[in-house]
Amino acid sequence: MCLSLKKEDLEMLFKALSVFCAHLHVSLCHVADPEWASYTLGVFVCLSCSGLHRNIAQISKVKSILLDPWSSTEVEFMDSVGNNAAKAKYEQIVPAFYYRPTHKDCILLREQWIRAKYERKEFLCVERQEPYSAGYREGFLWKRGRDKGQYLSRKFILSEREGVLKYFNKEPKTIMRINTLNATFQPTKIGTAHGLQITHLKDNSTRNIFVYQEDGKEMVDWFNAIRAARFHYMQVAFPGASTSELLPKLTRNYIKEGYMEKTGPKHTEGFKKRWFTLDDRRLMYFKDPLDAYARGEVFIGSRENSYTTLPGLPPNIQGYHWQFGITIVTPDRKFLLVCETEEDQKDWIAALQTVINRPMLPQEYAVEAYFKHKP
């Protein structure tokens, strides 16, 4: 520390330290001990969010609380606001269904949440929430085509009254029922920061579409409109359920995705590399991560119902290129998979265990029965 510090400087430093220490516990996106702050909004944020705040410089100006100089006025302002007061001000009327991202979510969701709160002030005024709360939404999205994988502009309509999301190629092309709809941002897999994977069930099988829009607000509004439609549908379908029971069911991210090798039911077919997705109790595999539907879906039940997963393969069986085996035992058969690395093997087993360790819900027995009698 500089030895020529004056007494006022020291006092200032202690004041800043005591104010910052009093406020610092967790950032707005749930990162512990945030080291950045917006001195125009009075909030403490993590390093990653500080970058997003920098993009809206007309609203938010950020500084490091450790590395940058702070004036006493700025410190007093931080003390007078802080994260709790800012939440009370900017998050007054966030709709229950609206997705509140954390540091685990993609940049688009976090950036649009910051813009919605501070730039557009959407949660101070219900009229500004119309794009996702009106129960009806239409617009154009780029949708990945099935043949060559090129993106084509398609008109989409979400209608709560009809209970559907549909898209058009002149005529309605596909009609997805709101009760089986899911949406999850997949920037890495789709290869664009705004990429959204939308799934629905058709005859109990998962169907995927991949869409994006250049405008980040539009894309996140679509996502929240889907959540709103699912929320309103579920409130009617499950009148006894509380809001906190329904919210986790509106949309879900996948438990785990990645490549593994698999063999067929006889275990002598040879191992092939496939893209696997664990979506709740469905383990699906695809030839290409962006395929419209899975080559196969496996129901993963619970321990009480004789589902288990173990590291390794039966004796005399080996993967093709890879060697870290996983055996999934279901009441009907064993599934043999192989991972590239030991770490991957551990992660997949842990992911499968979270599902197996959870007792099955009554409606999940119906799904299991469907899988058993699948032609």
46 scored as a contact of Zn ion (CB under 5 A): yes
298 within 8 A of 282, measured Cβ to Cβ: yes
Task: Indicate the residue among 13 and 47 with the shorter CB distance to Zn ion.
Answer: 47
Task: Indicate the residue among 29 and 246 with the shorter CB distance to Zn ion.
Answer: 29
CA distances from 68 to 63, 74, 92, 210 (A): 6, 12, 31, 43
**Window contacting Zn ion (CB under 5 A); options: 22-30, 138-146, 321-329, 344-352:** 22-30
Which residues within the stretch 86-105 sit at the binding site for Zn ion (CB under 5 A)? Answer: 103
Task: Indicate the residue among 34 and 289 with the shorter CB distance to Zn ion.
Answer: 34
33 within 8 A of 41, measured Cβ to Cβ: no
Shortest Cβ distance from residue 319 to Zn ion (Å)? 40
Q: Which long-range contacts (CB under 8 A, 24 or more apart) does 164-169 make?
A: 165/198, 165/200, 165/226, 165/229, 167/141, 167/143, 167/209
Task: Number of residues interacting with Zn ion: please give it, by CB under 5 A.
Answer: 5
Task: Indicate the residue among 50 and 197 with the shorter CB distance to Zn ion.
Answer: 50
CA distance 303 to 282: 15
3-state SS assignment for residue 15 = helix
CA distance 17 to 160: 52
Shortest Cβ distance from residue 224 to Zn ion (Å)? 20
For 277-305, b where at least 16 C-beta lie within 10 A, e where not — what string? bbbebbbbbbeebbeeebeebbbbbbeee
Task: Indicate the residue among 29 and 355 with the shorter CB distance to Zn ion.
Answer: 29
**Window contacting Zn ion (CB under 5 A); options: 45-53, 90-98, 337-345, 348-356:** 45-53
**Window contacting Zn ion (CB under 5 A); options: 47-55, 141-149, 151-159, 188-196:** 47-55
Shortest Cβ distance from residue 213 to Zn ion (Å)? 24
Task: Indicate the residue among 46 and 226 with the shorter CB distance to Zn ion.
Answer: 46
Shortest Cβ distance from residue 117 to Zn ion (Å)? 13
Sheet holding 282-286, edge to edge: 296-299, 282-286, 272-279, 256-262, 334-339, 324-329, 308-311
Residue of 29, 226, 313, 360 that binds Zn ion (CB under 5 A)? 29
Which residues within the stretch 160-219 sit at the binding site for Zn ion (CB under 5 A)? Answer: none
CA distance 346 to 220: 34
Find, among 221, 210, 244, 231, the residue nearest to 160 by Cα: 231
Shortest Cβ distance from residue 2 to Zn ion (Å)? 31
Task: Indicate the residue among 104 and 202 with the shorter CB distance to Zn ion.
Answer: 104
Shortest Cβ distance from residue 45 to Zn ion (Å)? 5
Shortest Cβ distance from residue 103 to Zn ion (Å)? 5
Shortest Cβ distance from residue 107 to Zn ion (Å)? 11
Which residues within the stretch 257-316 sit at the binding site for Zn ion (CB under 5 A)? Answer: none
242 burial type by CB count under 10 A (0-12 exposed, 13-18 middle, 19+ buried)? exposed
- CA dihedral sign, ordered 13, 14, 20, 21: positive
Task: Indicate the residue among 103 and 358 with the shorter CB distance to Zn ion.
Answer: 103
The footprint of Zn ion (CB under 5 A) covers 27, 29, 46, 49, 103
